Amino acid sequence: MKRLFLIAILFFGLNLSVFAGVDINTANQADLETVKGLGPVKAKAIIEYREKYGEFKSIEDLVKVKGIGPGTLKKLGNQVSIQENVPVDVKDR
């Protein structure tokens, strides 16, 4: 029974990571290219924009990237994400 429970946890844990989407603030070009609707040119443009202007504040900021408009943004759906950086107080550890 324990084995079945552990297998279920492992299976669902791995699948949940798929639903999180590719973090546009940390992804490299290869990661971005795995997103349906982003090829090499758009992936490179996202990275160049991020390097020039800093992290994206929202997914909607992608429309500021050359080659990405509202239609592309809609197609990306939940394939992309932004992970919020929450400061950690070292004293609490």
Question: φ and ψ at 22, to 5 degrees?
Answer: -80, 125
User: Between 1.10.240.10, 3.40.50.2300, 3.40.50.1820, 1.10.150.280, what CATH number should domain 24-78 receive?
Assistant: 1.10.150.280
Phi first, then psi: give them for residue 81, nearest 5 degrees.
-150, 170
What burial letters (b/e) apply to 15-29, b meaning 16+ CB within 10 Å?
A: eeeeeebbebbebee
pLDDT confidence of residue 19: 60
2-54 tens-digit pLDDT: 665 556 555 555 544 456 799 999 999 999 999 999 999 999 999 999 999 99
Q: What is the pTM of this model?
A: 0.70
- Residue 46, classified by CB atoms within 10 Å of its CB into exposed (0-12), middle (13-18) or buried (19+), is buried
- Residue 16: the pLDDT is 47
How many residues does this entry show for the chain?
93
Domain ranges of the chain: 24-78
